Amino acid sequence: MAILIGSAARTKLMERLTAPAGINSTLGALTLPNGTTTLQVCAQNAAPDVADRTGTVQYPAVTVYCEKVVNDLREKFRSFSGTVHLAIEVRHSQDQLDGIEDTLEKYMDAVTQTLTANRGDWGEGMYFAGAYQVSYGAVKRGGKNFSQAAKVTFEVGVSAS
């Protein structure tokens, strides 16, 4: 059951990110130097070097995945009451080192604004309170020459019979 709950929470998140008022709508309001107006969102948990080797990665890349499912039985007589830890990872790549971090920060602004707009009840016993953490990785070789990744992690409360 825990696997299905993690998958269901990831699906709910994907719906919110790809909705008409989702991440691409928010991104359109930001000014980006490279002219990017849309982000492709996929459900995948693959390391950047592995994804680059497949040759199918388009940058910027947004991946959504479930990191952890915790059933701490907060509510008696429920088969699951706990949290699902979700992650949204944004990877950006460009041929010059200058400005890579600024561009990635703008993408992360679009992600966090979308999360903030979707606080509250997600249906089917899922609830997002609004708290999240953002972590930035170092610039590395990869993608179009240089790449950098940032990750947003957060918890979704789940109560299911």
Q: Count the Cβ atoms, other than its own, within 10 Å of residue 150.
A: 19
Instruction: Place 59 in a pLDDT band, splitting at 50, 70 and 90.
Output: confident
| Kind of pairing between the strands at 132-136 and 140-142 | unpaired
Residue 43, C-beta contacts closer than 8 angstroms, at least 6 positions apart? 10, 11, 14, 63, 64, 65
For 46, counting Cβ atoms within 10 Å of its Cβ (0-12 exposed, 13-18 middle, 19+ buried), the class is middle
Q: Any idea where the domains of the chain sit in the sequence?
A: 2-160
Q: For domain 2-160, which architecture applies? A: 2-Layer Sandwich (3.30)
Full-model pTM: 0.87
Q: What is the pLDDT of residues 70-118, one digit of tens each?
A: 999 989 889 999 999 999 999 998 888 898 999 899 999 999 999 999 9
Q: What is the pLDDT of residues 15-34, one digit of tens each?
A: 999 998 888 888 876 655 55
- Its sign, for the CA torsion 16, 154, 26, 61, is negative
